[in-house]
A and B are shown apart, each in its own frame.
Chain A
Amino acid sequence: MNEHPKPPPVQGLDIDQALHRGLTESRSSRRGFLKASAGVVGLAPLLAACGVAGTAASGKQNKQFDWTAWWHRQKPTNQLVFANWPYYIDTTASGKNHPSLELFTKQTGINVNYKEVIQNNAPFYAQIAPVLQAGQSTGYDIIVITNGWQLTQLLENGWIVPLWTEKLPNFQKYASPSVKSPSYDPNSKYSVVWQSGFTGIGYNPKLTGREITSINDLWDPKFKGHVGMMSDNTELGSVALLKLGIDPATSTPADWDKAANILNQQRPNVRQYYDQSYITALQDGDTWISQAWSGDIYQANLKGYKDLKFVIPEQGVMYWHDNMMIPLHAPNPLSALEWMNFYYTPKVAGMVADWVNYISPVPAAQQYIADVIKDPTVANSPLVFPTQSEYSKAHDYYTFKNYNDYTHWNNTFNPIIQS
């Protein structure tokens, strides 16, 4: 037995050596590395034989399918799996229930499994695309996607079930004309709008010192370092196009280059390119003027930030829609149609709009909210029920024709945000 055992540093030395030898001593590390690379290289001929299938093929296939017959074959069920963005449906004060869904269950006997699983369009698409491509069910009957490349892709790839329009009389009756046949889904063949919104300008008049009326104000050097822009390149590019007086929906790549130019000129003024957290910066006063969504400003006002204002600039606003759609292999498609039809009534749309505070696709809901729910703040708000003058300034986004088109837009505008 030793009185004074050997000090551990020697062992520590061994271990350090062992670890570092693996990395530093050329022989073993090179050997290990070579072995690893040999494995990868060996796979190469195997991989070359394979490839990853594209989606275009399935798109063509599905478009030739006889959907009318398919719809007639469907049997009613008493379930509905509804995937939506979090906090995007009416909720009771305690947060427990969704009155509109409960009313639906009472009237139709269909149980709703409401899942708030959509955080953003691109990640959600990335989740469901491989599933749909493999011909499997996503498990959802209704998904809510914003108009944009992912929605276009879903349609192009034939992964969305065309709606059985005979079963949607309420849509025909109550839907606002501005959502009846959007540019990204002519004749509303595949989708009906859930909520919409404007992307305009939000600002704090106390900090800007004056009223804001024009997109040019986002370029005003007086606001240097306090301008917020969106990191979504579709929003960013579109607002620049509007500033140049170009309608984004009909713009060309040459226009996009011009827009990118002026955005680059704006860069020194911009504090940050924000995702949805732009509203925090506005609320805190870090930004004085920012690209903003109408619903956020409305919410901010209710939360006590009464100084913040939303303005529709003279050049126009962008008008976006979150759309309900039925993905392929949905387990309960008829239930989905039932809900869509149920939603497009003044009562139900009113219940939802009163809570969500974005633009409702059912104008008659305004009356319902004023008379029955008795909520004049919402009923009279142009941010929830825009008037004709507001709609006249609304512009649609550019609808991408194919992947190359989309890539071109990205390559034009991404460097502004990413550099």
Chain B
Amino acid sequence: MRRAAVPYVLNLPSWIFLAVFFVIPLASVLALSVATGNPEVGYQYTGHVHEFVSAISTYQTQLIRSFWYGIASTVITLAISYPVAYWIAFYGGRNKSTYLFLMLLPFFVSFIIRTLAWEFILADQGLVLGHLKSWGMLPQSFHILSTSWAVIWGLTYNSLPYYVLPLYVAIERIDRRVVRAANDLYADTRRTFLRVILPLSAPGIFAGFLLVFVTNVGDYVNQQVLGGTGTYMIGSVIQDSFFTNQDYPMASALSSVLMLLLLVAIYLYARTFGTDTIQEYS
């Protein structure tokens, strides 16, 4: 009897907190997506869904672009984070937590400082490009800032801790004896990695994917600072709709559409990668 109640007891504080301070407020704002009106005359919940249609049709370019930037930045972040998390977990020894903390430390410093620094360093004639250009390695007209790649760079950079951490905690708990067992069974490093370590770290990959992909698709700050024409993301559109245009139904509709599309993406991920992992062991 008491055992059955355990999960409910564990969940209760968070449930209450999230219900009161997240679900209810968010639902009331998203409800505005089926409202009609403007700030002067107020809004009536008319239940019209034309806002959704309008949102998707007007901003499909930005939606697609945001998903593309999200995927690209997430994959690159994963590619960079995995070796780091792996090394710290397996080779970090006693200083594991120190390395992890050092990895995270730059991100305690304000975002604006980090971004100002990158703007300065990546300037067309700045520290990096200036020297490469004067050595003739790059054409004079080459620039990183104000391109899609600068945005992806910024997204990747700022996502690193959000992928390294979940990967680390998942990889670190892998029982070394399993790895050794694989070695005993004549698996070389590559096979050990692909068939033992990688699948065992799947929860970490998924957790990081959730944190990184989802936040990056909705991000707008990196684009505003590092991007150029033609890099506008859906997050900026929502920001504009809300603050500048004061078009709350559109902002709510866009947010709902964004969240729905992200849910679909996660579902597809789970289908593709989740079930495969499971099949490895059946």
Contacts and interface: CB of A to CB of B under 8 A. Distances in A.
The short answer to whether A and B are in direct contact, CB under 8 Å, is yes
B123 interface: yes
A7 B202 CA distance: 16
B232 A418 contact: yes
A7 B61 CA distance: 48
Contact of A24 (B143, B246, B271): B271
22 contacts: A9-B199, A10-B281, A13-B281, A16-B203, A16-B277, A19-B203, A20-B274, A24-B274, A44-B47, A48-B47, A51-B37, A53-B42, A54-B37, A55-B39, A55-B40, A56-B41, A277-B225, A284-B126, A285-B125, A286-B143, A407-B245, A418-B62
Contacts of B143: 225, 286
Contacts of B188: none
Contact of B43 (A52, A153, A404): A52
Interface stretch (A67-75, A239-247, A267-275, A337-345): A267-275
Given A43-B27, A47-B45, 19 more contacts: A9-B200, A10-B281, A12-B203, A20-B278, A48-B47, A53-B42, A55-B39, A55-B42, A56-B40, A56-B41, A123-B243, A156-B40, A272-B228, A275-B224, A280-B119, A284-B125, A417-B232, A418-B62, A418-B236
A243 to B, nearest CB: 19
Contact of A47 (B31, B40, B120, B267): B31
5 tightest A-B CB contacts, nearest first:
A54-B42, A284-B123, A122-B243, A20-B274, A52-B43
Nearest to B59: A418
Given A20-B275, A54-B37, A418-B236, A272 B146 contact: yes
Given A51-B44, A271-B229, A272-B229, A414 B245 contact: yes
Given A54-B41, A419-B61, A419-B230, A284 B203 contact: no
A271 B228 contact: yes
A15 B174 CA distance: 14
A50 B119 CA distance: 48
Contacts of B274: 16, 19-20, 23-24
A9 B281 contact: yes
A273 B227 CA distance: 9
A380 B51 CA distance: 54
Contacts of A23: 266-267, 270, 274
B266 to A, nearest CB: 7
B242 interface: yes
B203 A15 contact: yes
Contacts of A17: 278
A153 B242 contact: no
Interface in B216-239: 224-225, 227-230, 232, 236-237
B27 A40 contact: yes
Interface string B97-118: 0000000000000000000100
A16 B202 contact: yes
Contacts of B172: none
B35 A51 contact: yes
Contact of A403 (B39, B59, B203, B227): B39
A53 B45 CA distance: 11
Chain A interface size, under 10 / 10 to 19 / 20 to 34 / 35 or more = 35 or more
Contacts of A24: 267, 270-271, 274-275
Contacts of A277: 119, 225
A213 interface: no
Contacts of B244: 122, 233, 410
Interface in A19-52: 19-20, 23-24, 40, 43-44, 47-48, 50-52
A13 B279 CA distance: 9
A12 B267 contact: no
Interface in A219-267: 225, 231, 233, 267
Most buried by B among A17, A47, A402: A47
A302 interface: no
Contacts of B125: 284-285
A24 B47 CA distance: 30
Contact of A50 (B45, B229, B266): B45
Nearest to B23: A39
Contacts of B271: 24
A1 interface: no
A70 to B, nearest CB: 25
B211 to A, nearest CB: 15
A192 to B, nearest CB: 26
